[in-house]
Structure 1
């Protein structure tokens, strides 16, 4: 009752105030109503059930007839979430089944550590041996040029022919000693790792280091040979050199400082001069080093906690050739190996090589390209590892094509050579030369022939080529090779696992 009275009083006061405002306000002539202004209806019309919701013909969103391609961002987000959930499930399953397998203890023999340290210090000496050989060759070139100047004053043809024979004889000896030196750089390390280093982790690091030094030594010898030839035959068809070489022409490049720069430069291809950055950004270096450390720890944890149990559980199936068990373990290992490989790729090619390039002020830092978008295998092998690709193209493929080989034959020989390097990089540290890594590289040739036509087409053909690349990369290549070499190593050392609680010497020696 009191509320109604209060409401009535309030309304009366509002009416009185409005009347006062009208009295005191100046009179104004009301404007005539606009013809376009229609009086608003105070009565709200009821909804009529005759609205035309189907007013035109239109296809379904996922039909081919639709004019605009729909967005699939939602499905992409769903797939990402599904992958995350599936991997979290594997993490939980691994924790419940095995517990914590990671240990800070290590079981490396002092003998293995000493041998690896000696190899790491001694292997680069072959680069300095190549430098000494090049100094001898440089003095030979200077002598030839000096004798040419004397010959212009007048000498007989007999002396000229004898000088040419002596010159080519010396060149053959230079090439011979370069071959011996480069071969020893790889042969000595391979022998020591195979016979005297039991730990495959240290063996792999030593072998990869030897391969890098071997490739650098070969490139140093090949490049300086062509530079000598260009100097001795000015104006000839092979005397043209890149403009950047004018910054350090031959023989000014044959110095110890120039060799030391090439030794540490993040490239396998020797040049007298490289593009340089202006200064060293130490904050950039610190970030890249932090990434290397973090990713290395992540790789170690992933290997010890997830990869090793899967590999151990595959031993019994491999021993009896249980195909279903092998396939199941192969598919389970594929995800783990992919994660480890991607982390290792980023740690080395993006973080480590960029940090090294920044310290060396090395300008060209295209160490890789967008290999993950490869629509054929050929594109992948030419984009994921640019330092090796540049070496193969400059010192193997192009010389063979220049000598009359077809492009297909030269490419095949590149894969044979690469297969040899893959086999010694994996087989020697594992003490098992099986030829699996070599065969894996050779089998890339028919896959390249199969995926090349897909890359030249448009639409779904390129998608199919990219899918074939990922299937070969994720399921067939790395995990299968890892299982085979793991089994061979354990078989050779008679450490086949008989139970889930039994850990092989390989696991104790490598990951702990």
Structure 2
């Protein structure tokens, strides 16, 4: 009687009772507000998921990582319930993290280098002795003489520009719009250009002759030649920039907005020249961006870094590089390829460390200290060259001051004269190759063309790696690997071996050169 009255009460109630008495209840979607119209199979369970109790109690659900409750039967829960892929497989859904392998590689690198340090100490002891550097007195005299005389050519260039500015100011006073209408004035500008060329040539030529014939110590010679090349490049930029500023002044042509605070010929002053002389750039501008204040802590930190890294470079050269070079001389003489390759690979590690320390000391510490002292604002002396996917990108990013000079005074003018990109690039690398040979061959008194050939060899390497740089993924990785291999294994260590061997053949033992 009770069941009949319950059935006749309402249709919905009877439907509810009928559904509740069904032994296979229809699953309900958790996030859906409407029940499924037809029964469906229960969803797949996770590896450790257990069917919840019928009373809907969520307190008994396990957290991730906990073993499921199987009641009395502990060995029956499903471990393999869904298809899964291996973590390192290509079809894996989630990319794994390799931070652990990175940490392992760092540890292996540290342990491997510590082993080399211990091996070096056991085999050679301490090779660096603070007993005074063995510099000849004549070398020191020539160094001081060149350091004072080389910048004098900058002031000769200033006098030349002072005469040119006086002439240009007088010509403008006569309302002459362009020197193209005055053949005599154009000839005068050619004389100015010739005077600059003679002055710059004497600056670099005399310094190179003195370093090659009068300075024996390669380290002192390197400093002198490096200084001479820097001042020579500054002379060229000063002359070429003021020539264009002079032409724009006579023709009334616009110049960059930043120059408006010091337009031509007001920039032809000793103060302006002296700032450019010391500024950490090879490109002349009448006005540079300036930093607002001078920061003593920043300046002292950069100076301290420069000094510390310079000492570290000296120590690494004397303690680690020199023994490897000395032990390679016999193999070089016998052309023992296997031993040469072993020496080359051993030298590549210390060479890379010395080069990276030198890069940081010069571009990050030294130039930033100088820029802070002069409140020079543009301090992008390099960018992330270590990520270069082509050799060409490396040469554009690792030494921005030289790159700016090459692009502004060689590459861009050649393009303006109708040269192709490839031809202009070849000219730029040829010019750079000559400078590299001067910087390496002249101080070591061995102009054998190795540094020149190394720079020329960059041209085909660029052609090979540029297409790889344009590719994504593996192409970029291969391009970066080619850059590092050519730079670390084939480049600097090989050149160091050859120049050291030729030095030994010409002058004998040079191990004392590196003593403190």
| TM-score band, normalised by shorter chain | 0.7 to 0.9
Separation in 1, partners of 2:117, 2:73:
57
- Provide, for residues 446-477 of structure 1, a one-character-per-residue CA deviation record: whole Å limited to 9, x for no partner: 11000001100111110111111100111010
Matches for 1:146-295 after TM superposition, within 5 Å: 146-148=173-175, 164-234=182-252, 239-295=253-309
TM-score normalised by length of structure 1:
0.86
- Provide, for residues 103-128 of structure 1, a one-character-per-residue CA deviation record: whole Å limited to 9, x for no partner: 11221111101101111111000110
Shift in Å, 1:333: 0.2
Name the CA shift for 1:52/1:391 in 2 (closer, same or farther; >3 Å): same
Which residue does 2:79 correspond to in 1? 53
Q: Which of 144, 155, 175 is the matching residue for 1:117?
A: 144
- Provide, for residues 298-327 of structure 1, a one-character-per-residue CA deviation record: whole Å limited to 9, x for no partner: 111100100000001111111111111110
Separation in 2, partners of 1:442, 1:273:
35
- Provide, for residues 369-400 of structure 1, a one-character-per-residue CA deviation record: whole Å limited to 9, x for no partner: 00000000000000000000000000000000
> Quick check: 1:511 aligned with 2:515?
yes
SS of equivalent to 2:162: helix
Separation in 2, partners of 1:347, 1:231:
41
Separation in 2, partners of 1:38, 1:423:
79
Q: Does 1 or 2 have the higher relative contact order (CA < 8 Å, sep 6+)?
A: 1
Does the 8 A contact of 2:70 with 2:76 survive in 1?
no
Separation in 1, partners of 2:283, 2:365:
20
Structure 2 unaligned residues grouped into runs of 5+? 1-54, 61-68
Shift in Å, 1:273: 0.1
Does the 8 A contact of 2:70 with 2:77 survive in 1?
no
SS of equivalent to 1:148: coil
Matches for 1:16-415 after TM superposition, within 5 Å: 45-105=71-131, 106-148=133-175, 164-234=182-252, 239-415=253-429
Name the CA shift for 1:177/1:78 in 2 (closer, same or farther; >3 Å): same
Does the 8 A contact of 1:303 with 1:511 survive in 2?
no
Shift in Å, 1:146: 2.4
SS of equivalent to 1:382: helix
Separation in 1, partners of 2:122, 2:72:
64
Does the 8 A contact of 2:130 with 2:515 survive in 1?
no
SS of equivalent to 2:397: coil
Does the 8 A contact of 1:426 with 1:437 survive in 2?
yes
Separation in 1, partners of 2:383, 2:340:
34
Name the CA shift for 1:394/1:51 in 2 (closer, same or farther; >3 Å): same
Separation in 1, partners of 2:269, 2:238:
12
Shift in Å, 1:57: 0.9
Shift in Å, 1:96: 0.8
Which residue does 2:22 correspond to in 1? none
Which residue does 1:28 correspond to in 2? none
Separation in 1, partners of 2:396, 2:58:
74
Shift in Å, 1:511: 3.4
Structure 1 runs (4+) greater than 3 angstroms displaced: 35-40, 43-47
Name the CA shift for 1:396/1:37 in 2 (closer, same or farther; >3 Å): closer
Matches for 1:362-511 after TM superposition, within 5 Å: 362-493=376-507, 495=508, 504=509, 506-511=510-515
SS of equivalent to 1:60: coil
Shift in Å, 1:171: 0.7
Separation in 1, partners of 2:312, 2:434:
30
Separation in 2, partners of 1:306, 1:140:
59
Shift in Å, 1:45: 4.0
Does the 8 A contact of 1:185 with 1:210 survive in 2?
yes
Does the 8 A contact of 1:376 with 1:451 survive in 2?
yes
TM-score normalised by length of structure 2:
0.85
Shift in Å, 1:44: 10
Name the CA shift for 1:182/1:460 in 2 (closer, same or farther; >3 Å): same
Does the 8 A contact of 1:200 with 1:510 survive in 2?
no
SS of equivalent to 1:357: helix
Separation in 2, partners of 1:302, 1:44:
66
- Provide, for residues 241-271 of structure 1, a one-character-per-residue CA deviation record: whole Å limited to 9, x for no partner: 1111111100000000000000000000000
Does the 8 A contact of 2:217 with 2:513 survive in 1?
yes
Which residue does 2:26 correspond to in 1? none
Shift in Å, 1:140: 1.1
Separation in 2, partners of 1:81, 1:460:
26
Does the 8 A contact of 2:241 with 2:285 survive in 1?
yes
Name the CA shift for 1:36/1:350 in 2 (closer, same or farther; >3 Å): closer
Aligned length: 452
Separation in 1, partners of 2:72, 2:307:
71
Does the 8 A contact of 2:164 with 2:192 survive in 1?
yes
